[in-house]
Structure 1
Amino acid sequence: MNSTQLANRLGEVILNGRWIANTNIKDQIENLDYTIANKQVKSLNTIAILTQHIHYYVSGIKNVFISGNLEIRDKFSFDFPPITSQKQWKSFQNLFWKDTEELIQHISDLSDSELKNPFVDKKYGNYQRNIDGLIEHAYYHLGQIVLIKKMIESSYIT
């Protein structure tokens, strides 16, 4: 797989795709009220937390392209202040879309040989492996978001 294909796959899961899941993250949350995004379903993460979690990794990997440093840590990947208004929710989404678009551009700019370069440190594998992992991780959480939305919607009907 080349860098353009990887960049397109990241765009598909987050911004505009329908091929794998017949939806994407943007479709699922763009018109969602922040109160629904924050609704707790049993012990599951909220939609707001899941989307911030995905963004955490998008932003962290984008930062590697900019600075060469991996500053994110898994242990902090669910630690976010609450989203308390629709304005704040939309602002977060706009940042998420912007960071995703910028990361897509960075990925597109990689040569095939650069995809094979170590990602910060050999222990993390290469760029291709990390970008693939980000895409798979986003699809995993997209599935959770879809299911949580269905659970919330069904609770309003009954």
Structure 2
Amino acid sequence: MANRLREVLLNGHWIANTNYKEQIIDLNWQQATQRIADLNTIAALTYHINYYLDGLLNAFENGKLEISDRYSFELPPITSEKGWNELVAKFLANAERFANKVERMEDDTFDRIFIDEKYGTYLRNIEGVIEHSYYHLGQITLIKKLIVVDIS
């Protein structure tokens, strides 16, 4: 599971022939926040996935799920390179922390209930992170292609 997380978030090419780090690392803040029609920005999508990584890491550590879908796109304004670089750094650090946490889990943890029965097992939630991440990675990849064409 940890390897699958690293594939989509940090260094893989097997499923999508790219990953989050590869897609976001070379963008500047104007590109990351550029709006194409009514699509989310790359910054908003990066924030969105990081919101869940951070929230689930906290839940793993304190046994409480304190995040809500309604706040997952509430990206504070990014108005400088510093702001974008801080978001990227947080995302990459949380991605690595999340993969490391999963890697250190005992095998029987994956079949245990995650926080509350309504959320299913740890495995279901970790697989959900992977699937959700690939879904938005596809969006980021397409938006980046539109931005590169638009800026060139």
Same fold? TM cut 0.5: yes
Unaligned stretches of 5+ residues in structure 2:
none
Picking from 91, 110, 120, the partner of 1:125 is 120
Q: Provide TM-score, normalisation by structure 1.
A: 0.93
Picking from 2, 10, 13, the partner of 1:15 is 10
User: Aligned equivalents of 1:120 and 1:134: distance in 2?
Assistant: 16
Residue range with higher mean Cα deviation, 105-114 or 22-31: 105-114
User: Aligned equivalents of 2:143 and 2:15: distance in 1?
Assistant: 19
Shift in Å at residue 34 of structure 1? 0.6
User: Aligned equivalents of 1:150 and 1:98: distance in 2?
Assistant: 25
Quick one: percent identity of the two aligned structures?
Answer: 50
Paired residue for 2:89? 94
Aligned ranges 1:144-155 → 2 under 5 Å: 144-155=139-150
User: Aligned equivalents of 1:152 and 1:143: distance in 2?
Assistant: 14
Secondary structure of residue in 1 paired with 2:115: coil
Paired residue for 1:57? 52
Paired residue for 1:82? 77
Shift in Å at residue 155 of structure 1? 2.1
Runs of 4+ in structure 1 over 6 Å off: none
Q: CA RMSD in A?
A: 0.9
Unaligned stretches of 5+ residues in structure 1:
1-5
